[in-house]
Structure 1
Amino acid sequence: MANLTVLDGSSFFVSDAAGDVDITEAMSSNVMGLFHSDVRHLAVWSLLIDGQPMRVLTSRPNDYYSARMFGALAAGRHDPSIAVRRERIVADGVHEDLWVSNNSGEPVTVCVELRFGADFADLLAVKRGESMRGRTSVEVDGPRVTLRYQNQAYERLTTIRFGEPGELHEDLMRWNLTIAPREEWTTCIDIGVVVDGKEVSIRTEHGGMGTVHPNMEMSLGDWMDTAPTLHTDVEPFQRTYQQSLLNLAALRFRPHPNGMSLPAAGLPWFMALFGRDSLIAAYQALPFHPSLAESALRTLAELQATEYDDFRDAEPGKIPHELRSGESSHLGVAPYTPYYGSHDSTPLFLILLDEYERWTGNVALVRELEQAARNALGWIEGPGDRDGDGYLEYETRSSAGLRSQCWKDSWNSVMFADGRVADPPIATCEIQGYAYDARLRTARLAREIWGDASTAERLERDAAALRERFNRDFWIEDRGHYALALDGAKNQVDACTSNFGHLLWSGILDDERAELVVRRLLADDMWSGWGIRTMSTKDDGYNPIEYHNGTVWPHDNSIIAEGMRRYGFKDEASKVIHALLEAGRDFEFLLPEVFAGHPRSETGTPVEYPTACRPQAWAAGAPLLGLRTVLGMDAGKDGLTVNPHVPAAMGRIRLDGVPVRGQRRNVS
């Protein structure tokens, strides 16, 4: 059976199907256990019945934050009288209920043990397989045990409280039971975590499966009920839509205790705030849950850089990339407090701010965030353009910084067609498109809301100049597509990649070249049959399972398809969205972060990428943006406009209750 995962807020618990975890190595790269705010608070959580794990009969989640496990005595034991049931809720802390039932007509004796332990591993260290340097200790006090980790001023604790008395030791609780005929024994266990001296307790009550007290603006039920209702005669698409909404709900957390909730980037490695991911996922979800955009904008504005900090790649006005709270960040080994190493988050912030106002009419938020927006614009016009040539170039200044600071942020993602990795500073094509779009959108806000016509006119002039310059400097005539980037010597990085598909979304392309771009993206070397690959099969860097150099990313495809619609290529846009939705069916309606770029004609089914996040925020958002694309939905001060182009293979589609500027609209 597959692993069982339950999550809520800043916590997630990954176990085997029986509900058990046993990380026997000091620092295994196995991402199992209870994690809270980037730290593993339980590395051992193992139930034994008469010294053996239970034999799993049924194990399944109830929803994203709770699960039930049913079992019997270990395999090879033929006594059917003993039944075991475990129920688990994750709600910041963990509440677990345990039942052992005697279904026979005679008394039975049974020894029940629960083994526990914590390595307090930083999630980033788990990913790298690194060891921790602090010391652990255990304190037993009545029915409660406290597991403690300390390294200099850094401290984390796990507290475990048992509801029924037994023999409590530093690493296990034992109950020696005699259960009467047709009776059951039950106990409950509460697990809490202590971060920065503050205990985070479980938000539920003993024995109350499903009675989690929500710490979000909306409970799961309200979240699902207030989203638009999809009507379709293609059942797999309905299930993919529902799963996308559920995934975004599951990933919600609060980066700040008093802040609003927004989606973490993805499970398991990226259960943290990522500026780029939050902004894109919020954009995708605007016609469905615009509250995500408001929370992302407010939170990221609060974290906007105000000064230079080389270690964190911070510059005034820059929107953060990543915020972590584990040991390496706390002790200053890693720069994630927050880290600012993404060159696209800042223009994406301005893009989302404008698009949010178009859909909601919330002028008050645009006024509230005016200074943050102007600061972001100042970064685009200042530090973001390192050499003053009008393009946004990145190069890390940090000893622990990212080499690549576009959305394809692996070290080798920006390469030439012959496989050479480009040298920084790097100006990737899509970031220039974002900067163009950000200028035009901010111009609208300046003119219509801030009453600043002179700034609006300047931004429009600058955008027009950028568009002309970009189409001259980035177009590769002999290859028939735009360059992936300009390198540090202003050479065109000539690999054929999906990056230039984002130029359709931003609107920076010359109209006469848009068709060439669309045709290039859908050529056999780029089109896998399930989506557009991140790199052409004809380029030397191509690998169908290389993270950014040949795989298919759902969010990437959703942005490209929306751009195709913008330039009038509706058939092509619908083709991309339909393929993504078909892929979702083969992934049990839960689109992963990324999947392999093998051709559909050879595999017949999309091939999993080995370490893809599931769920992942912008993958969950891809079907939502896809629905917007095929229904042709746009919003503005005149309300909602709809121009649908739904392919026959997708059947009939209707969305009821789309939120637009304080009203609800039905779309078909």
Structure 2
Amino acid sequence: MAQGNTIRILDGNTFVVSEDTGDIEATPSEPTGLFSIDTRFLSRWVLTINGERLNALSYDDLQYYEARFFLVPGLATHYVDAKLSIIRERVVGGSFRETLAILNHDERPVDLHVRMDAGADFADLFQVKDEILNKKGEHYTEVEPELLRLGYRRGNFRRETVISSSGPARFDRQGFTYTIHLEPNEEWHTEIDVQTFAVGPGGRDLRMGVQAHGHERLALQHDLEQWIANAPKVNSECEHLGRTYQRSLVDLAALRFSPLSLPGQTVPAAGLPWFMTLFGRDSLLTCLQVLPFAPEMSRTTLRILAAVQGTRFDDFREEDPGRILHEMRYGETAAFEEQPHSPYYGSVDATPLFVVLLDEYERWSGDTALVMELERECRAALKWIDDYADLVGNGYIWYERRNTDTGLENQCWKDSWDSISFRDGSLPPFPRATCEVQGYAYDAKVRAARLAREFWGDPAYADELERQAAALKERFNRDWWVADGEYYALALDPTGRQADVLSSNIGHLLWSGIVEESRAARIAEHLVGPRLFSGWGVRTLAEGEVRYNPIGYHNGTIWPFDNSFIAWGLRNYGFAEEAATIADGILAAASYFDGRLPEAFGGYRRELTKFPVEYPTACSPQAWSTGTPMLLLRTMLGIEPHEGHLAVEPRLPVGMGRIEVLDIPGRWGRVDAFARGRLELHRLAD
């Protein structure tokens, strides 16, 4: 997957980031290398011929799991009348395999010294991210006649990279060498296998590497073909919409992650390169986005998160009974408790979102068995909301980190340190309560009441949940309404003072349903008004606020996922035109990113920049950005489950043209949805 001169290929738990020549030279500030289970298994992988580095003529990221590099000897700054062609072709599946081919175009035979320098620093991904490589264990290297073993051990924690070749090679401690002779027009090739192995502190075998075979690529290709075949088909007169959907579908396949504790089960990992692991919030929101297109992801995500739901009080991991995890890591720093992600529970939105997804999934799928299976976990999540999340005692969900060394300060989706502020730019004290999380709690109680009444046979519990939800809605609309701005505050501090900035979070209140009907129109006006809406999308923080910055991570950038839920919420409250406006802006932005929406992009006014400005360190691909076009399709077509059937009520942006979504899966089997947008005025004039 190309981004500038960086090539990224991935398959679930394993990914490679390299230069456009295929070389890997890890630096402290760039996540290059071969990564698996939060460890860098190759930090150096450099090809030379007769001591000379190679120049990339072109490269091709054929699929998310493979790439091909076309190279010649010589420097990129000089014209090269090359007599040799070098093709590097690599596949990432259960292991890493590279096929190397060299073609002699000279009229004379040549003798070549082909060298691959190889090294592994076994850096923990957190160490790479923080640019601090502080290894406390021992590196070792073993050279055998037919392989090179690079290793790292720290007590019982061990990681190994084992390199072998199909052709005869001379292995040494820094890599391996081929000596070859090529006649005119002759071709030479070899296959290089790189396997990765892992053993945990308790001696448990976490072997990730699987010997690569010739059929591996065919298996990956077949899996992708099946994934695409099972998904709904989207046909559209708007060409970039079709391309964006197809790109999102493939990226979603690439981001499927299989937790080590439950092999064979896949959930959406959060994003490349930093977040290729199990998350609570990210996985749940992504599943909500893609329900009409990949409902099976919701089932596995719910079951996996239920399996690791909190059961005890643990301040280091910020675990409570019933709490849904935030993030799971498998690297060295987690294994030795140098950071708490084993797993870490420091988010306050994943727990209510777990209940929300369970209900929404049943509405689409009719999978009552899962609702019955997860009753205990669902009740535990609701108990956490009432008994453990209300740190102030006023009926809201609050957060304040208990792990003051490595825990997250802000435990909502806007989790950067300065994302929650007062209108004067100052930061509130802790504990804090953000508005959208109260909406999630309201939604969770309403939905759980339905589950209790219809499936769990507990109408008294259902009645109690509905009373709690009604009281929460009334209390919220009293305490969070900013009277002089006519919107909801971003947050409250423990004294009840409002963090009274205008933010995108108010859009999440619409999809949760906590907004009073009489106030919804004013919220809609803000969301598509000039302070929040840039023309490309809704900014995280409104223009004019003290901390507004169009390239501030959560203080003015545009997050595609955020916008998809805002559009959905607008549509649910009857503001179809406003929802279509947001969908149109985000989908137009996608066309500038070759159909792959990044994690975030700049909040500059559309007329100022003429194109969306990418945020410099945005994850790409990223799961909930990948899910964005799918939720926007659902919103534009108005497809919703209704009394066991699929209802369709389209409202497309002007100029969108005809859209078909075919074979939408659900409890109704598979059905089609059609919509036709209104033409632009100049087209009517024609």
Specify the alignment match of 1:99 in structure 2: 101
Q: Deviations over 1:238-279 (max 9, x none)?
A: 000101111111100101343510111000111111100000
Specify the alignment match of 1:33 in structure 2: 33
Q: 1:157 aligns with which of 149, 155, 160?
A: 160
The amino acid of 2:254's aligned partner reads A
Q: 2:91 aligns with which of 89, 92, 102?
A: 89
Specify the alignment match of 2:679 in structure 1: none
Structure 2 residue 364 is matched with structure 1 residue 362: no
Specify the alignment match of 1:191 in structure 2: 194
Q: Where in structure 2 are the equivalents of 1:364-383 lying within 5 Å? A: 364-383=369-388
> Using the alignment, how far apart are the partners of 1:259 and 1:297 within structure 2?
15
Post-superposition offset of 1:611:
0.2
Structure 2 residue 54 is matched with structure 1 residue 54: yes
SS at 1:312's partner residue? coil
Specify the alignment match of 1:523 in structure 2: 529
The amino acid of 1:185's aligned partner reads W
SS at 2:456's partner residue? coil
SS at 1:614's partner residue? coil
Q: Deviations over 1:23-48 (max 9, x none)?
A: 2x5xx121100000111110000110
Specify the alignment match of 2:258 in structure 1: 254
> Using the alignment, how far apart are the partners of 1:234 and 1:129 within structure 2?
43
Specify the alignment match of 2:149 in structure 1: 146
> Using the alignment, how far apart are the partners of 2:421 and 2:264 within structure 1?
40
Specify the alignment match of 2:509 in structure 1: 503
Contact 2:435 2:491 in 1 (8 A): yes
Specify the alignment match of 2:327 in structure 1: 322
Post-superposition offset of 1:199:
3.3
Q: 2:663 aligns with which of 653, 657, 666?
A: 657
Q: Where in structure 2 are the equivalents of 1:217-228 lying within 5 Å? A: 219-228=223-232
Post-superposition offset of 1:213:
5.3
Contact 1:413 1:548 in 2 (8 A): yes
Q: Deviations over 1:385-420 (max 9, x none)?
A: 123211011111013111101110111111011111
Contact 1:483 1:496 in 2 (8 A): yes
SS at 2:474's partner residue? helix
Specify the alignment match of 1:111 in structure 2: 113
> Using the alignment, how far apart are the partners of 1:458 and 1:120 within structure 2?
53
> Using the alignment, how far apart are the partners of 2:644 and 2:283 within structure 1?
27
CA shift in 2, pair 1:426/1:48, >3 Å: same
Q: Where in structure 2 are the equivalents of 1:504-583 lying within 5 Å? A: 504-583=510-589
> Using the alignment, how far apart are the partners of 1:200 and 1:323 within structure 2?
17
Specify the alignment match of 1:472 in structure 2: 478
SS at 2:244's partner residue? helix
Q: Where in structure 2 are the equivalents of 1:413-452 lying within 5 Å? A: 413-452=419-458
> Using the alignment, how far apart are the partners of 1:560 and 1:71 within structure 2?
46
Contact 2:144 2:171 in 1 (8 A): no
Post-superposition offset of 1:523:
1.5
Structure 2 residue 213 is matched with structure 1 residue 205: yes
CA shift in 2, pair 1:510/1:78, >3 Å: closer
Q: 1:300 aligns with which of 294, 305, 327?
A: 305
Q: Could you tell which deviates more after superposition, 42-51 or 153-162?
A: 153-162
Contact 1:91 1:203 in 2 (8 A): no
Contact 1:361 1:637 in 2 (8 A): no
Q: 1:267 aligns with which of 268, 272, 276?
A: 272
Specify the alignment match of 1:130 in structure 2: 132
> Using the alignment, how far apart are the partners of 1:598 and 1:463 within structure 2?
38
Q: Deviations over 1:544-569 (max 9, x none)?
A: 11110111000100001100001100
Specify the alignment match of 1:331 in structure 2: 336
Q: 1:591 aligns with which of 594, 597, 606?
A: 597
> Using the alignment, how far apart are the partners of 1:424 and 1:378 within structure 2?
22
The amino acid of 1:38's aligned partner reads D
Contact 2:94 2:212 in 1 (8 A): no
Post-superposition offset of 1:575:
0.5
> Using the alignment, how far apart are the partners of 1:43 and 1:228 within structure 2?
40
SS at 1:655's partner residue? strand
Contact 1:154 1:331 in 2 (8 A): no
The amino acid of 1:614's aligned partner reads S
Post-superposition offset of 1:105:
3.5
> Using the alignment, how far apart are the partners of 2:486 and 2:218 within structure 1?
59
Q: 1:239 aligns with which of 240, 243, 248?
A: 243
After the TM superposition, list the runs of 4 or more consecutive aligned residues in structure 1 that deviate by more than 6 angstroms: none
Structure 2 gaps, min length 5? 200-204, 675-686
> Using the alignment, how far apart are the partners of 1:648 and 1:492 within structure 2?
38
Q: Deviations over 1:59-102 (max 9, x none)?
A: 01110000111122223585533111111000131011101111
Q: Deviations over 1:447-500 (max 9, x none)?
A: 111111111111011101111110001001112111111112221110111111
Q: Deviations over 1:180-227 (max 9, x none)?
A: 222111111110111114433346424x6732458xxx8111111111
> Using the alignment, how far apart are the partners of 2:453 and 2:265 within structure 1?
29
CA shift in 2, pair 1:142/1:94, >3 Å: same
Q: 1:343 aligns with which of 331, 344, 348?
A: 348
Contact 2:549 2:555 in 1 (8 A): yes
Specify the alignment match of 2:678 in structure 1: none
Specify the alignment match of 2:460 in structure 1: 454
Contact 2:90 2:96 in 1 (8 A): yes
Q: Where in structure 2 are the equivalents of 1:388-403 lying within 5 Å? A: 388-399=393-404, 400-403=406-409
> Using the alignment, how far apart are the partners of 1:468 and 1:11 within structure 2?
48
Specify the alignment match of 2:684 in structure 1: none
Contact 2:443 2:513 in 1 (8 A): yes
Q: Could you tell which deviates more after superposition, 154-163 or 238-247?
A: 154-163
Contact 1:274 1:320 in 2 (8 A): yes
How many aligned residue pairs are there?
A: 661
Contact 2:193 2:212 in 1 (8 A): no
The amino acid of 2:60's aligned partner reads R
Post-superposition offset of 1:667:
0.2
CA shift in 2, pair 1:650/1:429, >3 Å: same
Contact 1:145 1:159 in 2 (8 A): yes
Contact 1:505 1:566 in 2 (8 A): yes
Q: TM-score, normalised by structure 1?
A: 0.97
Q: Deviations over 1:329-368 (max 9, x none)?
A: 0000100011001100000000000000000000001111
Q: Deviations over 1:417-441 (max 9, x none)?
A: 1111111111111000000000000
Q: Where in structure 2 are the equivalents of 1:609-648 lying within 5 Å? A: 609-648=615-654
The percent of aligned pairs where both chains have the same amino acid is 45
Contact 1:192 1:199 in 2 (8 A): no
Specify the alignment match of 2:178 in structure 1: 175
Post-superposition offset of 1:166:
2.3
Contact 1:319 1:346 in 2 (8 A): yes
Contact 1:90 1:202 in 2 (8 A): no
Structure 2 residue 22 is matched with structure 1 residue 16: no
> Using the alignment, how far apart are the partners of 1:80 and 1:566 within structure 2?
62
> Using the alignment, how far apart are the partners of 2:218 and 2:191 within structure 1?
15
> Using the alignment, how far apart are the partners of 2:265 and 2:624 within structure 1?
19
Q: Deviations over 1:149-174 (max 9, x none)?
A: 12233221111112212221111211
